[in-house]
Structure 1
Amino acid sequence: MLFPLPSHDTLYDALVARDARYDGSVFVCVGTTGIFCRLTCPARKPLSTNCVFRSSVRECLEAGFRACKRCHPLRSATANDPAVARLLALLEAEPGRRWKESDVTALGYDLSTIRRSFKRYFDMTFLDMARQYRLREGFLSLTEGERVIEAQLDSGFASPSAFREAFSRLLGAAPASLKPGGLLQASWVPTSLGDMIAVSSATHLHLLEFVDRKALPGELKTLQKNLKAPLGLGTPAPTELVREELAAYFAGRSAAFLTPLAPQGTGFTREVHRLLRDIPVGETRSYADIARQLGQPGAVRAVARANGANQIALLIPCHRVIGADGSLTGYGGGLWRKQRLIEIERSYRPCVQPNITGSW
């Protein structure tokens, strides 16, 4: 973040009032539409529970959100930079185009100057931004049953190798290996805190992670190795159910999760995860609290490792574990998400519901 963001309620009030003080320095990501906007956007205002606020365009794009076509958040910061404004207009006009350095120089621009400008405004290069746009479209094409070559072309990758490399960085698997069906099926799940990847079998949810989590490719490889099953594409019943439950959760309707979860890790890790699921909605615990509940007060570090090994975000609520001094501690999805999840769940406290009763 470029500066500490005000509270969610303060920023939501600013969004409703179209307060120009935050224009260009804070953006709102709307989970129900998958779009991010300026706080001065003239569009109809979403519910507060469907909003998350970020301080950079890069955070919005990496979480899977697309720029609004009414308020043009990418353009707002570049009104005084004609080169950046022109490139953004070209990108919006052809989001599937595969841009190369030679394309930029052919327009008469110096590569190093453009690179510095985009990094200054958006904390990412122009080519990185274009690649982020294309990759999401490629994944969605695959999940809709398109062949790899069609998904590659839909997402603007000129060569199979480039598409394969970009896709592998996200999922740790080549797109050609991801066939519809199979024991483990991956699906894209949009939420108000950013897009997630869900992996389910016919009966259980095995993984649920935000797409920008750095550990995601490694987790997917380990999951496939442990179950001796390649990753496929699809939305089995557990994924359908968790989609509905996440929508209700972020809409403020229910904090109960009934999706059956596959067990993870050793017996100790599973016991830690069980205790995490027992933390009431709207409350938090420290690692030391969990260790004492286990009857092993000296196992604080082991509890922290088991907490970090969780690969089913939200449903196994590792975000409810904080430092003994009340500070936020590491969270694979980002501390800003951890803070927002805690804030969301506090709104449930007057009518606390069970976290889950689903089977393992």
Structure 2
Amino acid sequence: MLFDLPDHDTLYRALIDRDDRYEGRAFVCVATTGVFCRLTCPARKPLAGNCSFHATIGECIEAGFRPCKRCHPLQPAAAADPVIAALLAALDERPERRWSEGDVARLGFDLSTVRRSFKRHFGMTFIEMARQRRLREGFETLALGGSVIAAQQEAGFESASAFRAAFARLIGRAPGELTGRGLLLADWIATPIGDMLSLSSASQLHLLEFIDRRALPTELGKLAALAKGEIGIGSYAPTEQIRAELGRFFAGKSAEFATPLALHGSAFTRAVWAELRQIPPGETRSYGEIARRIGQPAAVRAVARANGANQLALIIPCHRVIGADGALTGYGGGLWRKQKLLDIEQQFARAAPAA
């Protein structure tokens, strides 16, 4: 878990001091560069608000960060396991390659051994690592103003249609629909529990969702219709504000979100969302309780539908709603994320009396 580590301030001081006591036990992810490092990295130190800390390399990669080219955080695992060393070298040599298990086998490696080794050291398979690296490179090329063709080449796809399909599966929209400037801008936000997509106008945040949420393509389609197709890639002020607030949340510093929001829903749905925002971090409510609190005790199913229609994850905390029997219920980001968020928020609940 994220908070098995020392607190954020302790780890940030260790980063500033290049304290080798945390070597192999903690890694820093830097939001402004998209890379993760050892705490002993010689590179220029980032601001504390741009840092999040994780106990494993796998958590850093799953959160969408790339290994630093100065401190090489993957090196210890490579040195300890020749299989990992060889495959990481092959990935560095051909990052654009569409790696498959057949490729790994042709290099003379046993597939089950490779899976176990990568899972043990990184929490993901070699194929998953390679795929995420390629698609992230493609997104960043588009975000920097590159063409779809350049992004396709950067991501290592020979076929334009294959790149469009993979990109659409990842964020719900084809790359050609997310280029240039627009009324709404989409941006990629890495978090310790997975990458998120934000969509904001110049004044409000319209969407914040985990990239693997199944409803994301539908949500983006509705917003695209409202914006008359004018969706681009980039960052407006609300996206930068929520990025900073998420950083403080996952650093254990604050569970407050003040980013201005655009709420796309009926009056009833907005009433449910407003009630969700009244649930303190570390506490939960049932659907029935929410229905009673908004004065419509018979509308339990409608409350559940409004909960599921939320497209501002974490900010409107639908993860704090559980079944009447206390069991976790459906969550668009996955029940494992719901449990992690509730676990993380226990820290804020414990700190509340002292505050």
TM over 0.5: yes
- How much has 1:230 moved relative to structure 2? 4.5
Matched to 1:206, the amino acid is H
Distance 1:117 1:242, change over 3 A: closer
The separation in 2 between residues aligned to 1:326 and 1:29, in whole angstroms, is 35
Deviation larger for 298-307 or 308-317:
298-307
TM-score by length of 2: 0.76
- 2:77 aligned residue: 76
Query: Of the candidates 323, 345, 354, which is equivalent to residue 342 of structure 1?
Result: 345
Distance 1:19 1:265, change over 3 A: same
RMSD (CA atoms): 3.9
The separation in 1 between residues aligned to 2:270 and 2:305, in whole angstroms, is 12
- 2:179 aligned residue: 179
Matched to 1:51, the amino acid is F
Matched to 1:309, the amino acid is A
Residues 90-129 of structure 1, C-alpha deviations (whole Å, 9 max, x = no match): 214443444356644553456x657755786567553332
Contact 1:75 1:85 in 2 (8 A): no
Distance 1:320 1:203, change over 3 A: same
- How much has 1:175 moved relative to structure 2? 0.9
* Number of residue pairs aligned between Structure 1 and Structure 2: 336
Q: Give secondary structure in 1 for the equivalent of 2:276.
A: helix
The separation in 2 between residues aligned to 1:204 and 1:327, in whole angstroms, is 34
- How much has 1:232 moved relative to structure 2? 1.6
- 2:321 aligned residue: 321
Residues 171-230 of structure 1, C-alpha deviations (whole Å, 9 max, x = no match): 222112212211221011233444321101233211001223343233222332455434
- 2:17 aligned residue: none
The separation in 1 between residues aligned to 2:55 and 2:327, in whole angstroms, is 21
Unpaired runs of 5+ residues, structure 1, are 353-360
The separation in 2 between residues aligned to 1:125 and 1:349, in whole angstroms, is 40
Q: Give secondary structure in 2 for the equivalent of 1:50.
A: strand
- The question of 1:332 aligning with 2:332 is answered yes
Matched to 2:345, the amino acid is I
The separation in 1 between residues aligned to 2:78 and 2:102, in whole angstroms, is 25
Q: Give secondary structure in 2 for the equivalent of 1:229.
A: coil
Contact 1:184 1:232 in 2 (8 A): yes
Distance 1:224 1:341, change over 3 A: farther
- 1:50 aligned residue: 52
Matched to 1:76, the amino acid is A
Contact 2:83 2:114 in 1 (8 A): no
- The within-5 A match list for 1:12-51 is 12=6, 30=29, 32=31, 34=34, 50-51=52-53
Deviation larger for 214-223 or 117-126:
117-126
Unpaired runs of 5+ residues, structure 2, are 15-19
The separation in 2 between residues aligned to 1:29 and 1:320, in whole angstroms, is 28
- 2:138 aligned residue: 138
Contact 1:170 1:217 in 2 (8 A): no
- How much has 1:79 moved relative to structure 2? 4.3
Contact 2:84 2:118 in 1 (8 A): no
- The within-5 A match list for 1:1-360 is 8-12=2-6, 30=29, 32=31, 34=34, 50-52=52-54, 57=58, 60-67=60-67, 70=71, 72=73, 76=77, 79=80, 82-99=82-99, 103-104=103-104, 106-109=106-109, 121=120, 125-225=125-225, 227-333=227-333, 334-346=337-349, 349-350=352-353
The separation in 2 between residues aligned to 1:307 and 1:209, in whole angstroms, is 14
The separation in 2 between residues aligned to 1:155 and 1:235, in whole angstroms, is 22
Contact 2:198 2:208 in 1 (8 A): yes
Matched to 2:77, the amino acid is S
The separation in 1 between residues aligned to 2:298 and 2:75, in whole angstroms, is 50
Contact 1:63 1:193 in 2 (8 A): yes
Contact 1:27 1:36 in 2 (8 A): no
The separation in 2 between residues aligned to 1:236 and 1:170, in whole angstroms, is 22
Contact 2:64 2:195 in 1 (8 A): yes
Residues 27-46 of structure 1, C-alpha deviations (whole Å, 9 max, x = no match): 867465755689xx766999
Contact 1:168 1:175 in 2 (8 A): yes
Distance 1:167 1:291, change over 3 A: same
The separation in 1 between residues aligned to 2:247 and 2:323, in whole angstroms, is 29
TM-score by length of 1: 0.75
- How much has 1:83 moved relative to structure 2? 3.9
Contact 2:183 2:231 in 1 (8 A): yes
